[in-house]
């Protein structure tokens, strides 16, 4: 790859490769969890990895900087005061000139908009953009035009799934030769034998009661309202079935009101935000992923790590993760009846559900480990940098 203009003026450094990641952070969700696994893995392989997080004034980052810093990755914060903040690219370019990175790697729309341009302005040799979702706003004409122009500053666009790669090429119009796919990775944690009992005791759920779990942000994308609409049908088909929803978000009040309207207050519980999903999932008999769209679906990997069967919608990347009939069941999005039927079928056949959970665990180890994700990312870095 040809170096960018001005790259010859940079100081010579034989090793290690220095990579600066940039992302706007408001809390720890899918992309942030990905970075918490990816960056320490890259550092462990000898790269000089650093993080610049864009944060809103006084908003905090949900402990992201502390979590990443505790793993030995340097983190800096840069305040972004509004969606359009002309100070940000100037400050980023200045910092890039001081850090002399070999690669700038951006994540999410704000970092793409400001970080890629700043990398070009600072004559950073290589720039990479990661796409983490197929957000609806990205389909708007103005956003597609802006995204295409911004992506021109990236040498490679990394999609976290083949579905996102198709979106990037088909919707955003980016040349498919500049797009590559690197799936998220997750390593299972040791089994917590007390977790199933503790979580069930917390909500007064008997050890043998059929339990559906859902983990995610309480926003329209995640389809929790469809899951609630489906649950009276599940409860009718599987007596004693319970649902626990783990997560928080702007829709929580509306979802709790929907629960009351459906007469589900005794059958449904909301936990709020939880720090670790896998121990919670160990208490469940099936994990529901009712998303309307999903760039990847890290929660599906977490269910596989917990050896739990999955009932998910057949949208975007989820069919890349969940094998129909083997590791779980796939249903159409926003179809409460189909979702209810799949959940009831899985709860009514616990031996089959356990087999699907074991198959999911094996699939995780074969295709979706952190090591595979880190090595694939290293391959991208080698290709664009020539190192």
190 domain residue, yes or no: no
167 domain residue, yes or no: yes
Closest CA to 382 of 40, 16, 6: 16
**Containing structural domain, residue 36:** 7-185+369-385
376, 359: one domain = no
68, 98: one domain = yes
CB 229 within 8 A of CB 333: no
162, 227: one domain = no
68, 203: one domain = no
CB 322 within 8 A of CB 330: yes
141, 199: one domain = no
Dump pLDDT digits (tens) for 76-129: 999 998 888 889 999 999 999 999 999 999 999 999 999 999 999 999 999 999
Dump pLDDT digits (tens) for 116-147: 999 999 999 999 999 998 877 777 887 888 88
149, 208: one domain = no
175, 213: one domain = no
356, 222: one domain = yes
Mean pLDDT, residues 309-318 taken together: 97
2 domain residue, yes or no: no
Token representation of residue 308: 């739990």
172, 205: one domain = no
Order the strands of the 268-272 sheet from edge to edge.
Answer: 268-272, 242-246, 211-215, 286-289, 310-313, 328-331
227, 110: one domain = no
- pTM, rounded to two decimals: 0.88
Dump pLDDT digits (tens) for 355-372: 999 999 999 999 999 999
CATH number, domain with residue 254: 3.40.50.2000
337, 378: one domain = no
The C-alpha atoms of residue 161 and residue 134 are separated, in whole angstroms, by 10
What's the chain's average pLDDT?
Answer: 92
243, 152: one domain = no
């Amino acid at each position: 790859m040809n170096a960018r203009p001005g790259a010859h003026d940079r100081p010579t450094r034989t090793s290690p490769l220095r990579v600066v990641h940039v992302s706007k952070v408001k809390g720890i969700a899918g992309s942030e969890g990905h970075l918490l696994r990816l960056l320490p893995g890259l550092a462990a392989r000898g790269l000089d990895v650093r993080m610049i997080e864009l944060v809103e004034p006084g908003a905090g980052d949900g402990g992201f900087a502390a979590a990443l810093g505790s793993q030995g990755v340097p983190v800096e914060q840069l305040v972004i005061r509004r969606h359009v903040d002309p100070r940000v690219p100037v400050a980023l370019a200045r910092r890039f000139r001081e850090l002399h990175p070999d690669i700038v790697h951006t994540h999410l729309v704000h970092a793409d908009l400001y970080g890629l341009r700043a990398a070009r302005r600072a004559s950073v040799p290589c720039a990479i953009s990661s796409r983490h979702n197929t957000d609806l706003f990205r389909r708007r004409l103005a956003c597609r035009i802006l995204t295409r122009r911004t992506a021109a500053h990236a040498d490679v666009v990394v999609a976290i799934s083949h579905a996102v790669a198709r979106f990037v090429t088909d919707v955003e119009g980016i040349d498919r030769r500049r797009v590559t796919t690197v799936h998220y990775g997750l390593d299972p944690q040791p089994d917590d034998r007390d977790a199933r009992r503790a979580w069930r005791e917390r909500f007064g759920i008997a050890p043998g009661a059929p339990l559906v779990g859902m983990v995610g942000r309480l926003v329209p994308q995640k389809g929790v309202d469809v899951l609630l609409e489906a649950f009276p049908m599940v409860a009718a088909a599987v007596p004693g079935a319970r649902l626990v929803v783990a997560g928080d978000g702007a829709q929580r009040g509306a979802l709790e009101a929907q629960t009351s309207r459906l007469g589900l207050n005794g059958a449904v519980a909301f936990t709020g935000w939880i720090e670790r999903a896998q121990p919670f999932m160990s208490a469940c008999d099936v994990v529901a992923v009712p998303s309307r769209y999903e760039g990847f679906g890290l929660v599906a990997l977490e269910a596989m790590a917990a050896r739990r069967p999955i009932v998910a919608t057949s949208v975007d990347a989820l069919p890349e993760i969940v094998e129909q009939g083997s590791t779980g069941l796939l249903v159409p999005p926003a179809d409460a009846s189909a979702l209810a039927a799949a959940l009831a079928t899985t709860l009514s056949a616990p031996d089959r559900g356990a087999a699907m959970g074991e198959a999911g665990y094996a699939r995780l180890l074969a295709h979706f480990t952190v090591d595979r994700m880190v090595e694939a990312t290293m391959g991208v870095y080698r290709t664009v940098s020539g190192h």
